[in-house]
Amino acid sequence: MKFRFLLILFASTSFAEQSRTVTKISSNQVTALVDTNDAVDLKEWGSQAGTLCVEWCPKIAALLSSEGFLFPKEVTLYFDPAMKGVAHAADGKITISAAYVRAHPDDRGMVAHELTHVVQSYPAGGPGWLVEGIADWVRIVHFEPQAARPKLTRLASYKDAYKTTAMFLEWCEKQHGAGLVVNLNAALRVGKYRDELWKEITGKSVDNLWADFTKTFSN
């Protein structure tokens, strides 16, 4: 896949603001706008993250397909020098902590996770543990399957979200056939998720599936 790199000057909307130069990375499917104006040392890292978004947005959309859904054609990445934590995504924009990237320059899986949130496009009200779990399912199963997995204990729960839920989803699909995540995603996308879906799809309730999954834990 070929990408086009451009620098775009966005004019200020007020005298209090300065003009911002944003890197535009495009394919024939997606455009990423990368804003490192407030963290200029991360310009190269940001361009790489933008390229990742352009390459992976259609891939994630294919993994999380649902009837009638069209994935976003544009995503903005902003590197925030004052942000605490890691990153968050909202309304097609991924805001990333500049300090986190400087401390963890090899963590591009974080970008894949946040990009998944952009693609998910879920309405408010869905269970957060599952929303985050699906995002990490994309990350650890498809984007970086070679990465180390956390060791789960008997104190873990499928509602722990992130990698715990992602590993549970991965196991459920291996045991009961692919399609669970696609179906859960489709329900979340139209605001119709309910716990009973797990049994309808796999034949077992989510709690019974988790009980089976915990038997795979090492003591």
pTM (whole model) above 0.85: yes
Residue-level length of the chain: 219
pLDDT at 3: 61
User: For residues 143 and 112, is the Cβ–Cβ distance under 8 A?
Assistant: yes
CATH number of 4-120: 3.30.2010.30
Best CA proximity match to 102, nearest among 118, 90, 86:
86
pLDDT at 12: 40
CA 145-135-85 angle, 5° bins = 100
Look up tokens 């451009």; give the residue. Answer: 6
| Domain residue ranges in the chain | 4-120, 128-214
**CB-side neighbour CA atoms (13 Å) of 188:** 26
Residues contacting 154, CB < 8 A, separation 6+ = 214, 217
pLDDT at 16: 40
pLDDT at 105: 98
Low-confidence residues in the chain, pLDDT < 50: 10-17
pLDDT at 18: 59
pLDDT at 218: 67
